[in-house]
Each structure stands twice: as structure tokens, then as C-alpha cells.
Structure 1
Amino acid sequence: MQNDTGRRRFIGQAGAAGLALGLGVQARAQQAWPQSPVRVIVPFPAGGSTDLLTRLVGRGVSARIGQPVVVDNRAGASGMIGTGAIAKSPPDGHHFGMTTVSSIVTAPFLYEKVPYDVDSEIAFVSLLCTVPMVLAVHPSLPVRTAPELMEHLRRNKGRLSYGTVSIGHYGHVATEHMNVRNDAGMVHVPYKGEAPMLQDLLGNQLPLSFVTIATAKPHVEAGKLRLLAITGTKRHSSMPDVPTFGEQGLQDEVYAMNPGWIGMIAPARTPADIVRRMSTEVVAAAREPEVFERIASMGMDFVGSTPEAYLEAYRAEKRTWQKLLAQAGVRPQ
């Protein structure tokens, strides 16, 4: 009996020791991440704002986790090629990607064939920053405020056009809303990218368009563009003299929203603890003074969200964009 009691005591002690050992191994395994270089896919060309932000933040993350952060540019198809590569990557905690509104929110509404399913193939890590846009006009246009532009549109029905970087872009839905709201009869001129559109805007071949702050700023300083309003609910630190639409009495939802953002994602089924750890590290890296200041100078607003907040933001943006694209008459192609 005593031998039996001793045996049970031994087994219990051994079990407890084994459990403690198992927990210790698990804890060390979690702490050991990452075990190799971390790859971050950017679905846009090198040199663009998403690529620059990724490289800025990547250096800080690398220093914090003790492993290289390798940036892998996979551009094409409005970001869908790279985003598809992120979704299909191994969910091993060493593959991540950067994304924008166009690649995970609007793409399913614009294209019949999208090579990934956001809701089932992507995990959200952190919404890093939002990207407001400004309504720019050529200086020859006799308006200096957004309300003055609306009045000018009504008085000159069918005489003006507006440009956008592509069909379904924020500039398309926002200016088409303006077009319908004021019965302006403007002609939509879609371009293949911002560069050719900007060239026509500067050359007075195009009277107005929505552009990013980073694109507009040097031309405003040179007197070649005039800015009437900024999207969102607050002014931007890099251009504090540009008022919001709301400040000028235009409270439409499309003007108050953040038209763009850049965030980090991962393949679905990436371990939740690694997703959360990466979220913490990438936000901390973006908060470093040098990086934070650079984000502002690029015309962005830092957010640095949790995975849960990013997922909720995505769901809200999806509902909003679905409605706005339908109102603009945009259909999948």
C-alpha cells in the first residue's frame, strides 16, 4: 500500500514536472520567434509610398527582433498580384505583407476575378497609417474654396472635366458624388496612374482632381496648383492651411472618410501570438521619432492599430466603399 502510494506520488510529481517543462519549452518556442529572416511582400513598385514606408519600418522591426526584414516587391494588377502572394504564403510567422484600400477593400468590387479571398485568406496585423487626399485645381480656375467650386460647377454645367488615377479610385467616387450632387455634367477622364494625370493638371489640360499631399505639395509651393480642401475630419500637419470639407460646410460622408491607408497583413492561420507580436513591433518601429516624422512628411497620419482594430476598420471600410462605388455606378469588370 505504501509502495502504491509512493508510486502515485512519484507519478504526480513527474507529471507536474513534465507539465512545467512543457510550458517552459512552449514559452521558449514563442520567445524564439523569429527563427529566420522575415519576408514582407509589397504589392507595388519600389520607390512608391507603400514601399518607402515598409522599408522605413522594416529597419526598426529588424533591429527589435534580431532578424533581417526582407522587402519583396510584387507589383501588378492594382496590387492584386502581391496581395495574392501574401495570401498564399506559408502561415509560419515569417511571411507578412503590406496592403492598401485598393488591394483588399475595393478590388473585389471592381474586378470579377480576384486571386484571393480577404475574409478567409488574410489575417490583419496593424493599420499603420491613413492617407488623406486633397482637392487640387489649376490656378486658372476662378475658385479658392470648395463651396466656390460647387457654385462654379453649377454655373458651368457640362463645361468641365475631372481626372482620376483609375476607375474606382477614391478620386472617382468622390468627384462623381460632387458631379451628381451639383448636376455639373463633368466628364470623367480616367488615367493609368497619377503621373500622367498630374502632368495634364499642371498643364491646364485638366481643371481639377484629387491627389495625395506628397504629390501636391511641391507644385503648390511653386504656385502651379491650388488646394481647396482636404479629406477626413482634421487638417494635416504638413499643410495646416488647407481646411477640411467639413470646415467649409460640406458634411458629406465621402469627404469625411479616409480615402486611403497602409497596413500590415499576414496569411490566415498565422499563429495569433506571432500576429500580435509583429503588430507590437511594427507599431513601435513606426513610433520612432525619425520614422514618425517621415510618415507625416509623406502626407500620412500615423494610426498604429491592434489586429482587432484593423479588422474592424476593414469591415467598416468595406461597407462604405460598397455603397460609394454603387452610387458612382461602378461595376466589376
Structure 2
Amino acid sequence: MHSTHSRRQFLAQAAAGGAALTLGPAVFAQSDWPKQPIKLIVPYAAGGANDVTLRLVSKHVSEKLGQPIVIDNRPGAGGVVGTSVIAKAAPDGYTIGVGATSTLIATPLTNPQSTVDVTKDLVFVSLLAAAPMVLAVNTSVPVNSAKDLPKYLRDNKGKLNYGSMAVGHFGHVVIKELSDLYGAAMVHSPYKGEAPLVQDLVGGQIQMAMVTPPGIRGMAEAGRVKLLAATGTKRIKVFPNVPTFAEQGFDDPVLKMYAGWIGIIAPAGTPAAAVKRLEAEYAAAIHDPEVNQKLGEIGMEPIGANAETFAATYARERPVWRDLLVKAGVEVRS
């Protein structure tokens, strides 16, 4: 009898707790959140395209929320340092962070220092933008569209060289995939950054490379390289005449992916109402015409998708990236 009473008491408490949990977000939504500045943890150094994107978009969100969004750059260990700070922060709506393909997928797969469990320690808030890349070839390559590439690759087995910005970088694994698909046995040369990569592409030391729109724009406009195709699902703003791989009949999921994306994340347990408000304001900021234009100019593709789409994108791309890294000879963790 005592145990029955205890069980009833437990169920009553659980029900009351459930009611409190249900009420929590509603009460939170009607409160004066945010009533203090919000800290945005960025897991890499200031100055890159991702950093520029965040500052631009967060300025608009800050104005809507009526509180400053303070950007705190925490670079180190390929994003491990900053991502750990985000995961361990108090889930009170006043610390949010940035998640990118590199910090949420590539680094956890390849860096033993990474201890964050993305799906347990973090929540997805808003997928802001993606970074497309273009396949550029040296002007001596007798191909003017990606459609003609398979034949050229097959006909020149073992004769071609390609470069990338690093081993395991998107530019490395995508061309490795093309090389494998068409039996080209191309030789890979990793570079320390995009500038020397583009220099050797123009000079003919390598025949092709995946490059960023801002990194190749000058050379493309001067006719020093040819652009054959763009990754992702739609044409790039700065190169409207360059069709995507998909448009040219390539069905490989890798070629439909962007080189990377960037979004807003928060520590697990952050109040749902804060997540919803942030999700809505960040999406609205991305669709602002001025922001849209500036993102296009720095080679980013505006997305402005909700938390659900962000989570689905992560879930869909993680296994694809894992396979790509394995194929490229990069040691990955389980």
C-alpha cells in the first residue's frame, strides 16, 4: 500500500513537473528575454567569409532583439576549442554559437581532441548560408563544360594533376571522387591556402582545382582560367553563367553539396522560446536585401533555413562526408 501511495505521489509530481515543463517556454516567451547582451561564440579567427557573414547578420538580429550580440572569437584545434565552449555554456538563451560543416562534421570525425557530441550537447537554431565552390581548369584543358569532363578524364588517365587547399578539404575530396568515377588516376597536390593554389592553376602546374568564387573571380574575369561547374543546388550569384554539376547531368550527391555551410547553434537545453525567436530573427536577417547582396559578394549563398532543416542537413551530410574522407585516405573516428 505504501508503495502504491509512493507511486501515486511520484506520478503526481511527474505530472506537475510535465506541466511546469510545458508552461516553461510560454512563460519564457512572455518574459522580457532578452534582457541582457547575448554572447555569440565563433570557433575560428576573425576576418574570414564566415566571420564577415556572422557580423553582418547578427547586427540585424541585435537590432530586432533590442540587445547587443557580442561576438567572441575562440579559435583553436580546428574548431574544437570554440565548439566545446558553446556546448558547456549555460543553456539560458544568453550564449549561442556558430556551427559550420568543418566544426560540426569534419573536425569531430577527424580530430581526437573533439569531445562534443553534436546531437546531444547542442541544438540547431538556424542554417544561415552555404559556401559553393567552382571547378576551375587551366586554359590549356580542351574542355568547356563539365559535360565533356568524363571523356577527357578517361582519355588522360594518369596524366593529370589537381590541387586543393588541404588534405581532406572539400576541394580535395570532390575531385578525388571525379577522378575515381572516371578512372582518371589524377595526382593530388595539397597547398597552404588558396592564393598559391590559384597561382599554380593559372601557371599550368596543375590542371584543375575546386576554388571559392572570391578566390578565382579576378582570374576568371580576365580569362586566365575556365570555370566548368558549380557545386550546390543553384547557380552562384557572382557567376550566373556557370551551371551547377546537377544541371549538367551529374547525379552524385557529393557534387550537389556545398563546400560548407554556416549556422547558429546553442547549448542543449536552451529554452525553446529563445531558440524559436532566434531562429525567426536570423532567417529574417538573411532574407534582408542588403544582407543578401553582401553575402553574394563574398561568395556565400544565403539560405536562412529553420532549425529542422539545419538538423536534417547535418544528418544527411555527415555520412557522405565520412565516406569522402575515408576515400581520400583521411583517418576517421567511428
User: TM (normalized to structure 1)?
Assistant: 0.86
Q: Which residue of 2 aligns with 1:210?
A: 210
Structure 1 84/197 Cα, relative in aligned 2: closer, same or farther at 3 Å? farther
Structure 1 195/86 Cα, relative in aligned 2: closer, same or farther at 3 Å? farther
Q: Which residue of 1 aligns with 2:56?
A: 56
Percent of pairs with identical residues? 46
| Cα separation, 2, equivalents of 1:143 and 1:243 | 14
Unaligned runs of 5+ in 2: 1-22
Q: Which residue of 2 aligns with 1:8?
A: none
Q: What amino acid is the match of 1:147? A: K
Q: Which residue of 2 aligns with 1:41?
A: 41
Pairing 1:256-267 to 2, within 5 Å after superposition: 256-267=256-267
TM-superposed CA distance for 1:262, in Å, is 1.0
TM-superposed CA distance for 1:200, in Å, is 2.5
TM-superposed CA distance for 1:205, in Å, is 2.5
Q: What amino acid is the match of 1:182? A: Y
Is the 1:171–1:209 Cα contact (8 Å) retained in structure 2?
A: yes
Structure 1 181/28 Cα, relative in aligned 2: closer, same or farther at 3 Å? closer
Q: Kindly provide the CA deviation profile for residues 143-180 of structure 1, in whole angstroms up to 9, marking residues without a partner as x.
A: 21223333232222222221122222221221111111
Q: What secondary structure sits across from 2:218 in the alignment?
A: helix
Q: Which residue of 2 aligns with 1:97?
A: 97
Q: What amino acid is the match of 1:192? A: K
Bigger shift: residues 91-100 or 233-242: 233-242
Q: Which residue of 2 aligns with 1:168?
A: 168
Q: Does 1:181 align with 2:200?
A: no
Is the 1:124–1:266 Cα contact (8 Å) retained in structure 2?
A: yes
Is the 1:42–1:50 Cα contact (8 Å) retained in structure 2?
A: no
| Cα separation, 2, equivalents of 1:101 and 1:141 | 32
TM-superposed CA distance for 1:106, in Å, is 2.0
Is the 2:325–2:332 Cα contact (8 Å) retained in structure 1?
A: no
Is the 1:112–1:332 Cα contact (8 Å) retained in structure 2?
A: no
| Cα separation, 2, equivalents of 1:309 and 1:28 | 24
Is the 1:235–1:243 Cα contact (8 Å) retained in structure 2?
A: yes
Q: Kindly provide the CA deviation profile for residues 40-89 of structure 1, in whole angstroms up to 9, marking residues without a partner as x.
A: 12222222111001110111011111111111122233222222222222
Q: Which residue of 1 aligns with 2:318?
A: 318
Q: What secondary structure sits across from 2:211 in the alignment?
A: strand
Is the 1:50–1:98 Cα contact (8 Å) retained in structure 2?
A: no
Structure label with greater radius of gyration = 1
Unaligned runs of 5+ in 1: 1-22
**Runs of 4+, deviation exceeding 4 Å:** none
Q: What amino acid is the match of 1:177? A: E
Q: What secondary structure sits across from 2:241 in the alignment?
A: coil
TM-superposed CA distance for 1:95, in Å, is 0.9
Structure 1 102/139 Cα, relative in aligned 2: closer, same or farther at 3 Å? same
Bigger shift: residues 209-218 or 138-147: 138-147
Q: Which residue of 2 aligns with 1:248?
A: 248
Bigger shift: residues 149-158 or 49-58: 149-158
| Cα separation, 2, equivalents of 1:266 and 1:297 | 28
Structure 1 250/286 Cα, relative in aligned 2: closer, same or farther at 3 Å? closer
Q: Which residue of 2 aligns with 1:6?
A: none
Is the 2:28–2:273 Cα contact (8 Å) retained in structure 1?
A: no
Q: What secondary structure sits across from 1:128 in the alignment?
A: strand
Q: What secondary structure sits across from 2:125 in the alignment?
A: strand
User: TM (normalized to structure 2)?
Assistant: 0.86
TM-superposed CA distance for 1:29, in Å, is 6.9
Q: What secondary structure sits across from 1:153 in the alignment?
A: helix
Q: Kindly provide the CA deviation profile for residues 226-255 of structure 1, in whole angstroms up to 9, marking residues without a partner as x.
A: 111111233223211101223323222221
| Cα separation, 1, equivalents of 2:270 and 2:200 | 45
| Cα separation, 1, equivalents of 2:29 and 2:235 | 45
TM-superposed CA distance for 1:192, in Å, is 3.3
Q: What amino acid is the match of 2:277? A: R
| Cα separation, 1, equivalents of 2:162 and 2:115 | 31
| Cα separation, 1, equivalents of 2:97 and 2:219 | 32
Q: Does 1:153 align with 2:135?
A: no
TM-superposed CA distance for 1:32, in Å, is 1.0
Q: What amino acid is the match of 1:197? A: L
Structure 1 42/188 Cα, relative in aligned 2: closer, same or farther at 3 Å? same
TM-superposed CA distance for 1:108, in Å, is 2.4
RMSD: 2.3
| Cα separation, 1, equivalents of 2:297 and 2:95 | 29
Q: Which residue of 2 aligns with 1:123?
A: 123
**Equivalenced residues, count:** 311
Q: What secondary structure sits across from 2:188 in the alignment?
A: strand
| Cα separation, 2, equivalents of 1:108 and 1:301 | 25
Q: What secondary structure sits across from 2:305 in the alignment?
A: coil
Pairing 1:217-256 to 2, within 5 Å after superposition: 217-256=217-256
Q: Which residue of 2 aligns with 1:16?
A: none
TM-superposed CA distance for 1:280, in Å, is 1.0
Structure 1 147/37 Cα, relative in aligned 2: closer, same or farther at 3 Å? same
TM-superposed CA distance for 1:30, in Å, is 4.2
Q: Which residue of 2 aligns with 1:5?
A: none
| Cα separation, 1, equivalents of 2:273 and 2:28 | 13
Q: What amino acid is the match of 1:306? A: N
Is the 1:231–1:258 Cα contact (8 Å) retained in structure 2?
A: yes
Q: Which residue of 2 aligns with 1:282?
A: 282
